[in-house]
Amino acid sequence: MTTAVFAMTGVPPEVPPAAGSSQQAGNSVAQERNQLLNEPWSGEKLYAVLSSPDPRTRDDLYRAAFEAGPAIIPKLEAALKDDRTAEFAAQTLAYFGDAKSLGILAGLLNDPRNLDLRRFYYGALGGSSDPHAVEILLNKVRTSDREPDRTVTENAILALSISSDPRLVAKLREAENQVTDPVIQDDIETAATVVDLRARYLAAHGGKSPASTVEQAIRTYFMPALEGAPKTDDASEQNSKVEVNIRNLTYSPDKSRVLADVDFENPQAVASYKLVLQKEQDGWKVASVWLGEEREKPQPASQPAPEK
């Protein structure tokens, strides 16, 4: 989660989705969506797509499933039983994030297979304002020393880091004192810092109301840490090279939820995210965040010191 940490400190320009080559991808997604809705699913065919060496092929399948919406939940529930397609099904249900999907994901907490599908349940709880959901996530963080899969705890921490509730900060730092894994401790401290900065940023800009557009909501997710950080010449130079690129926006059938493919880039690395945003009466808010591939950039060779 190290790149996720610095990604939250970036300042993104407001960037519209890329146009140009998106039409062909859109046609592919629409075709996949219709097949998912109208044709019987084959575990073998789905696995062939999911194991494709081309990441765009895999992404198109997830986008198509999101576009198809809750109508495919019965098929996803069946796909959970097949080890080859279980992760795809669990991730898609987590993107949906509705009560039925969360109920199915909760049933995976005791799944006996070595797939660690529990991480999708915890990740999907992040945008909830329900105190019970927050307590579930905090309990997972507090007991991380007994968790064999670190990614399960990391998903719970990332889910909590979406919050703008200042009351969560002390609870996170209390949880940090209850764990011994230094990696998890660092992640918890970062989450506490980000929640605190986001709460301060929103308070200084008129409160906690959701953003009026998807792009503004994505911007708000990334901006607060930098807004609260000390301004130095080095930081200013670094932040001027930060970019956030919104590659795709995929809407649910009723347009109340959107899956955003976002790349965060600074001079050292690129981190890919999937953000799920939920439309409320007065705007959009981030419902869940999923960290994908992290890629370090090749750095220029250092110049040898001049001879004296």
Reduced to 3 states (helix: H, G, I; strand: E, B; else coil), residue 288 is strand
* Spatial distance between the Cα atoms of 235 and 286, rounded to a whole number of angstroms: 27
Instruction: Print burial letters for 55-92: b (CB count within 10 Å at least 16), e (below 16).
Output: eeeebbbbbbbbbbbeebbebbeebbeeeebbbbbbbb
Quick one: what percent of the chain has pLDDT higher than 90?
66
Question: Going by C-beta distance under 8 Å and a sequence separation of 6 or more, which residues neighbour residue 209?
Answer: 282, 283
| Beta sheet of 257-265, edge-to-edge order | 243-251, 257-265, 269-280, 283-296
Question: Going by C-beta distance under 8 Å and a sequence separation of 6 or more, which residues neighbour residue 245?
Answer: 15, 18, 262, 263, 265
pLDDT in tens, 96-113: 999 999 999 999 999 999
* Spatial distance between the Cα atoms of 23 and 183, rounded to a whole number of angstroms: 42
Domain ranges in the chain are 30-111, 126-208, 213-228+241-299
In the chain, which residue ranges form alpha helices assigned H by DSSP? 2-7, 22-38, 43-50, 55-68, 73-79, 86-96, 99-106, 118-124, 131-142, 150-160, 167-176, 182-204, 214-222, 224-228, 233-239
Q: Is the pLDDT of residue 15 over 50?
A: no
Mean pLDDT, residues 141-166: 96
Per-residue confidence band for 8, with pLDDT thresholds at 50, 70 and 90: very low
CB 218 within 8 A of CB 275: yes
DSSP symbol at 202? H
- The burial of 110, by beta-carbon neighbours within 10 Å (0-12 exposed, 13-18 middle, 19 or more buried), is given as exposed
Mean pLDDT of all residues belonging to the chain: 86
* Spatial distance between the Cα atoms of 54 and 57, rounded to a whole number of angstroms: 6
In sign, the C-alpha dihedral spanning 31, 37, 38, 43 is positive
Please report the pLDDT score of residue 6 as a whole number: 37
The residue whose two tokens read 């949906």 is: 96
Q: What are phi and psi of 284, to 5 degrees?
A: -110, 145
Mean pLDDT, residues 82-108: 98
Annotation: CATH topology of 213-228+241-299: Nuclear Transport Factor 2; Chain: A, (3.10.450)
Lookup: tokens for 229: 């950080």
**Higher pLDDT pick, 294 / 307:** 294
* Spatial distance between the Cα atoms of 164 and 160, rounded to a whole number of angstroms: 9
pLDDT in tens, 183-227: 999 999 999 999 998 888 888 877 665 688 999 999 888 875 445
For residue 222, the tally of other CB atoms under 10 A from its CB is 22
pLDDT in tens, 232-243: 455 445 555 677
* Spatial distance between the Cα atoms of 45 and 85, rounded to a whole number of angstroms: 10
Q: What would the 3-class secondary structure string for 222-285 be?
A: HCHHHHHCCCCHHHHHHHCCCEEEEEEEEECCCCCEEEEEEEEECCCEEEEEEEEEEEECCEEE
Please report the pLDDT score of residue 283 as a whole number: 92
